[in-house]
Each structure stands twice: as C-alpha cells, then as structure tokens.
Structure 1
Amino acid sequence: MDDGTIVTNAITYASTSFSYFHSDHWGDNHHELISSSWHPPPPGWIKVNIDDSLQCSNEAGIGGIFRDHKGRMLLSFGFSLIHWDICTLEWMAVRSICNVIDDWMFNAKGIMVEGDNANVMSHFKNLTKLDKCLMDEASKEDFDFLKRFMLTV
C-alpha cells in the first residue's frame, strides 16, 4: 500500500470513528437529531458531506468530503472566507461542489449530498426536482453538472 492510501485510510477511520456532536452549538435550522454514525451511499454512488463554520469575527469556512460506498475518501475540499450568515455559508458549500468535482465521478450511478442545515438541504432537493426553465440563471449554472448523474439525492 502506498503512503497516500495509508494516510487516506487513517483520516477516514479517525473522522468516522471519533465524531460526536455538541447540540448546544446547533442553530434553529439544524436537524434536531443527527445520527452519530455515517451512513454510506449505495454501491456505485458517491456521497458528499458538506459543512460550514462561522466565528464571531465573521471568519468562516466551508468544505466537504466525497466518499464511496465503503466510506473511503475520494476527494475533500475547503475554503476560507468572510461572511455573517450560517445558512448562506451552507448554501455556498453546496454550490461549491460543481467547482471541485472531478470528471471521473460522473461515472457513478448517482450522487447524494448531505448537510446539517435542514432548510438548505430542503431547498437543494427542491431545486434538483424543479423544471430548469423555472430556475434563476445562477442556479442553472451552479447545478447544471447534476444532470450528468443518473440520480441526485
């Protein structure tokens, strides 16, 4: 096994084995109950978990991790920025998927996008079902890559 594979496996194990949540830090739009364990996508699918963070100084970060059905990390990304609204940050994390996705990922049967902001995830799911002619131009461009997948959840 090469060094990169060993490091990736170690990060994957650590991130899925020792994760826990502090419910006192949740906002109104976060799920009331979040499972403490990660659930893989079906075989042949890719799952993207996105998240964001916001400090009192408005320093913020958005990021995500792509995993396969065995929980192996395929790709991760993160960006630092300045913003004041946690919902907007989560939406920016969703929209940034199109900028980081690799072409080979379109060979997957489908993609699942998961985040912890219920309103943002609901809006995203509604957009994936919406007729393209009803979308604003920015959303059409940001989510045009999704039509290359057979299914989006």
Structure 2
Amino acid sequence: MEEKAFNEQSLLHRILAYFNIVRQSQVLNNKICSEEPIRKETQSLGWTPPQEGWVKINTDGSVFAEDKAAAGGLIRDPLGRCLEAFAINLGSCSITRAELKAVEAGFSAAWRRGFRRVILCLDSTTAINIIQNVQDTDHRHGILALEINRLLSLNWEVSISHTYRECNFVADFLAKKGHSLHFGTHFVDSNDPGLRYWLLYDGFVPRTFCYL
C-alpha cells in the first residue's frame, strides 16, 4: 500500500462505489441494446397542384451578404401553368421581412387578377406565425402583418400553409432573381428561361428524402 495508512471501512466503501458504477453501466448498455433500431421514413416531396377552381401561390424571401434582401413568388393553376410571377429587390432588410413582403405581393397579385380561391404556401414558419398572431403595430413587423391580414379579410377563400423548401424551388429562384434587378417589384415573363426550367423541374423531377 506504498506505506500509506488505510482504513478497512473506507476501502470497502470505495469497492462498493466502483461496483455500483459498473452495474449501472451494464444496465444502461442492456437498455440501449434492447431498444428498437431507429427507423427512417422516406417521403417523396414536390409541388402539388391545387384543386380545380383554386390557384396556388408559392412565395419565398432571400437575403445575401450585408442584408441585401429580395423576394419572389408565383401563381399557378391546377395544371401547373404559371399565371403570374414576380421578383422584388427590397434593398436592405431582414429575411423575415422579405418573406412577409413576398406574401403581401402574392396576395395582392391574386386579388388583382380576380382569383377568389387561393392557397398560399411558404417555407417560413416564422412568417406564418407573425401573420397569424401579430395584431399590434408595436411589433417590428406589425404594420406589414396588419396589411396582410387586411388582404386576408377580403371577400375570398384563402388558406396559408407551410411547405418544405424542396417544394418551393420556383419561388426560391424568383426570390434570388430579385437580387439582380433594380429596386422595386418586377413581373417575370413566363418565357424566362430560368423560370421555365424550374417550372419543368417542379412538374417532372421526383425528389425523395429520408427523415428520422
């Protein structure tokens, strides 16, 4: 014992403590080994058309370095045809404001075109939460949220839903296109090569993803 004095009781306590540590480790190991393996769920994701009589709006926001922001979106019919597409250069603002500006522009375009059954899809849960819950102009996005809710209160049927980014590629393209345009809102021709490519991609390229 290296000429060190020791107490038998103290030594016994140490032995019991080490024994308990080993036993707990074995119990934990057995529990882990007995659990069922993690199962992965596979989903096929892509843009889905609205029902007959409805149109679907997809919108998105984009922010590059130094808070250079843009937004974009489009309206499609049940056949997947682009009825209107837009891209907006917003200057400097946050990604949340960009997402909300895209929603406002999408609703305004749909109402102006006379569509009265509209589904709006975006991939920002933050923006959806603001639209549904903010009713106060003291909120940093309050004025914009109130304007969107004013549009929602018009005489039409509208629903808002979250979508995965993998179902929002065309809107993402339009939002990024806004960075290359002058400040303000621009309508994008349906024959724009980039827009045509992503519309075809949405319609014909299946995407499969695995989720835990």
Task: Give the TM-score, by structure 2 length.
Answer: 0.45
TM score, norm. by length of structure 1: 0.60
Deviation of the 1:86 alpha carbon: 1.2
Cα deviations across residues 2-46 of structure 1 (Å, max 9, x unaligned)?
Answer: xxxxxxxxxxxxxxxxxxxxxxxxxxxxxxxx9641011111111
Would the alpha carbon gap of residues 63 and 120 (structure 1) be closer, same or farther in structure 2, given more than 3 Å must change?
Answer: same
Report the Cα distance in structure 2 between the residues aligned to 1:92 and 1:35, rounded to whole angstroms.
29
Instruction: Give the C-alpha shift of residue 83 in structure 1.
Output: 2.5
Structure 2 Cα separation of the partners of residues 144 and 116 of structure 1? 22
| Stretch moving more, 76-85 or 40-49 | 76-85
The change in CA–CA distance for 1:42 and 1:82 in structure 2 (over 3 A counts) is same
Cα deviations across residues 81-130 of structure 1 (Å, max 9, x unaligned)?
22342122111211223443353433x4x111111111212433x26xx9
Correspondences of 1:70-149 after superposition (within 5 Å): 70-101=79-110, 103-106=112-115, 108=116, 110-124=117-131, 126=132, 138=143, 139-146=145-152, 147-149=154-156
- The separation in 2 between residues aligned to 1:73 and 1:140, in whole angstroms, is 28
Q: 1:85 to 1:48 in 2, by over 3 A?
A: same
Aligned: 1:50 with 2:50:
no
Assess, with a 3 A threshold, how the Cα gap between structure 1 residues 81 and 116 changes in structure 2: closer, same or farther.
Answer: same
Judged with a 3 Å threshold, the aligned counterparts in structure 2 of structure 1 residues 140 and 87 are, in CA distance, closer, same or farther, namely closer
User: What 5-or-longer segments of structure 1 have no aligned partner?
Assistant: 1-33
Structure 2: how far apart are the matches of 1:36 and 1:55?
Answer: 26
Partner-residue secondary structure (3-state), 1:44:
coil
Could you tell me how far 1:143 is from its partner in structure 2?
A: 3.4
- Same amino acid, percent of matched pairs: 25
CA-CA distance at 1:140 after TM superposition? 4.4
What is the count of residue pairs matched by the alignment?
A: 113
d(CA) in 1 for partners of 2:44, 2:126 = 18
- Structure of greater relative contact order (alpha carbons < 8 Å, 6+ residues apart): 2
For the aligned residue pairs, the C-alpha RMSD in angstroms reads: 2.9
Unaligned 5+ segments in structure 2 are 1-42, 161-212
**Aligned-pair distance for 1:145?**
3.2
Provide closer, same or farther for how the CA distance between residues 102 and 45 of structure 1 changes in structure 2, counting only shifts above 3 A.
Answer: same
Corresponding residue number in structure 2 for 1:16: none
Q: Is the 8 A contact 1:47 1:114 kept in 2?
A: yes
**CA shift for structure 1 position 135:** 6.6
